[in-house]
């Protein structure tokens, strides 16, 4: 990359490098996510160069979305093809890369708008707001980057994070029993959760399939498809929202607090792209976590789902910690994660978040609810890992090596 680039042009350069890398290595990944997502990106790019109208292109995407909603059992009477097409047309007028997939970009825009609204409410709004974008890699991470030779910033999500969170949350919610009355009530009783897992070989298999897709194939989208019940699907949706919002709020916090202006940098390589990101210490990461929690809780409070905010954070912490344990077991025969120089352990991050929570929320009952749900998320992942750990010990003994492992810059 040479010369001074705008944030959008910088994202496009990163994406073009990613496409080239994936094309060069497609044979290695065989039928992995790359064949699906690279094809989607290229088709979208080519479609914009044809005489076909944007509305015709958007109609085909809208049809695909409605079909996917039907497969997933998602019912929403307020969504039809015309509304989806209208949304796409609005996105087209946004300041974004030509190579974004509209569905991914739309999800990112909605999250960033929520961050922007609560940041304004909390007097934490950055004047030169960051530009959002995605890279078509399978790693479950995001990062804030300063545009070279510029004072502007971008927040980049790797698309693997969407599948990573979606699949694990759909597994987790099946461990919670529920009653349907005027409202749906979920039970987070420890004994019942463990009993449910012990008596569900299907749930254990889904978890193992997910872990194998992540660790051995480097792609959560390779997890065999499974359905979950509608009440569980609703709970999963809130977990999904909170988890990804926290990740974005965390990256926004790095920019807000000037962490990227620190003189120490580390070089990050993803595919053919190499760029400098701030070399954070543990305290800077914990500060970003605290601000991320503050912004997420405000969004969740405004949206009426505050009791799921901490659980969404725990979902990412525990799932990322799980990947570390599985990788360490496969490589070294021990599930003790390798210590990070720049990032505190998830145990430290978890404890810090819990200590800060009472300073953000005054309602003690809400705090109890948040902690109960968050602990239940960790319990499910920990219990399922204990049932899968021996398989990974055997993989280690057989010399089985990991596939494309997630890069966690968060």
**Residue 51: pLDDT band with limits 50, 70, 90:** very low
How high is the mean pLDDT of the chain?
83
What's residue 220's pLDDT? Answer: 83
Decide if pLDDT at 93 tops 70: no
Percent of the chain residues topping a pLDDT of 70: 77
CB-based burial label for 1 (10 Å; 0-12, 13-18, 19+): middle
Asked whether residue 38 carries a pLDDT value surpassing 70, the answer given is: no
**pLDDT mean over 322-329:** 93
Evaluate if residue 29 carries a pLDDT over 70: no
Contact between 150 and 131 (Cβ < 8 Å): no
pLDDT at residue 88, as a whole number? 63
Picking from 11-25, 50-64, 243-257, which range would have the lowest pLDDT averaged per residue?
Answer: 50-64
Confidence of residue 278 (pLDDT cuts 50, 70, 90): low
pLDDT confidence of 131, banded at 50, 70, 90? very high
pLDDT bracket for residue 54 (50, 70, 90): low
Paired tokens of 156 = 């980049």
pLDDT top residue among 93 and 361: 361
Q: Please check the confidence at residue 81 and state whether its pLDDT lies above 90.
A: no
Report pLDDT for 52: 47
The CA distances from residue 133 to 23, 48, 338, in Å, are 20, 18, 30
Backbone angles phi, psi at 101, to 5 degrees: -80, 140
- 96 contact partners, CB below 8 Å, separation of at least 6: 8, 11, 105, 109, 131, 132, 133
> Is 243 within 8 Å of 169 (Cβ atoms)?
yes
State how far the Cα of 250 lies from the Cα of 291, in Å rounded to an integer.
7
Tell me which residue of 295, 17, 258 sits closest to 146, measured CA to CA.
258
Contact assessment for residue 119 and residue 295, using Cβ atoms and an 8 Å cutoff: yes
Task: Tell me: pLDDT of 395 over 80.
Answer: yes
What's the pLDDT at 2? 52
DSSP single-letter state for residue 339: P
More confident residue, 139 or 212: 212
Identify the pLDDT of residue 91: 56
Give the range among 6-10, 49-53, 340-344, 349-353 with minimum mean pLDDT.
49-53
So what's the pLDDT on residue 95?
A: 67
Q: Decide: 395 and 335 in contact? Cβ < 8 Å.
A: no
Confidence class for position 157, pLDDT limits 50, 70, 90: very high
Residue with tokens 């990412």: 316
The residue extents of the domains of the chain are 7-48+98-398
Q: Cβ–Cβ contacts within 10 Å for residue 275, how many?
A: 18
* Paired residues of 180 in beta bridges: 184
Strand, helix or coil at 112?
A: helix
pLDDT in tens, 243-275: 999 999 999 999 999 888 765 566 666 676 766
């Amino acid at each position: 990359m040479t010369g001074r680039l705008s944030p959008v042009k910088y994202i496009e350069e990163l994406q073009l490098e990613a496409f080239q890398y994936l094309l060069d290595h497609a044979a290695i990944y065989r039928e992995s996510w790359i064949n699906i997502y690279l094809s989607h990106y290229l088709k979208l790019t080519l479609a914009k160069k044809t005489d076909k109208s944007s509305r015709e292109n958007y109609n085909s995407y809208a049809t695909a979305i409605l079909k996917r909603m039907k497969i997933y059992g998602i019912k929403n009477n307020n969504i039809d093809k015309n509304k989806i097409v209208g949304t796409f047309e609005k996105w087209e007028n946004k300041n974004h890369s030509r190579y974004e997939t509209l569905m991914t970009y739309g999800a990112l825009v909605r999250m960033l708008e929520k961050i922007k609204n609560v940041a304004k409410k909390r007097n934490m709004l950055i004047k030169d707001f960051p530009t959002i974008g995605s890279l078509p890699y399978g790693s479950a991470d995001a990062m804030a980057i300063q545009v070279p030779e510029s004072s502007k910033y971008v927040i980049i999500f790797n698309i693997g994070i969407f599948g990573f969170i979606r699949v694990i949350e759909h597994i987790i919610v099946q461990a919670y029993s529920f009653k349907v009355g005027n409202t749906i009530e979920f039970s987070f009783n420890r004994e019942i959760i463990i009993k449910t897992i012990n008596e569900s070989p299907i749930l254990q298999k889904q978890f193992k399939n997910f872990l194998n897709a992540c660790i051995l194939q480097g792609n959560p989208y390779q997890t065999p498809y499974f359905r979950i019940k509608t009440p569980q699907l609703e709970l999963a949706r809130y977990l999904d929202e909170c988890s990804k919002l926290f990740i974005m709020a965390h990256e926004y916090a790095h920019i807000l607090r000037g962490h990227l202006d620190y003189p120490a940098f580390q070089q990050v390589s993803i595919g053919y792209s190499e760029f400098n990101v701030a070399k954070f210490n543990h305290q800077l990461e914990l500060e970003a976590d605290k601000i991320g929690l503050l912004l997420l809780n405000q969004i969740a409070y405004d949206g009426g789902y505050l009791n799921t905010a901490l659980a969404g954070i725990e979902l990412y912490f525990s799932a990322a910690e799980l990947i570390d344990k599985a990788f360490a077991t496969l490589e070294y025969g021990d599930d003790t994660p390798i210590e990070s120089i720049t990032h505190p352990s998830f145990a430290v991050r978890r404890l810090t978040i819990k200590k800060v929570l009472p300073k953000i929320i005054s309602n003690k009952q809400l705090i109890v609810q948040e902690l109960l749900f968050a602990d239940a998320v960790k319990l499910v992942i920990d219990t399922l890992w204990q049932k899968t750990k021996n398989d990974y010990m055997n993989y280690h003994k057989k010399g089985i090596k990991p596939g494309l492992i997630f890069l966690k810059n968060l």
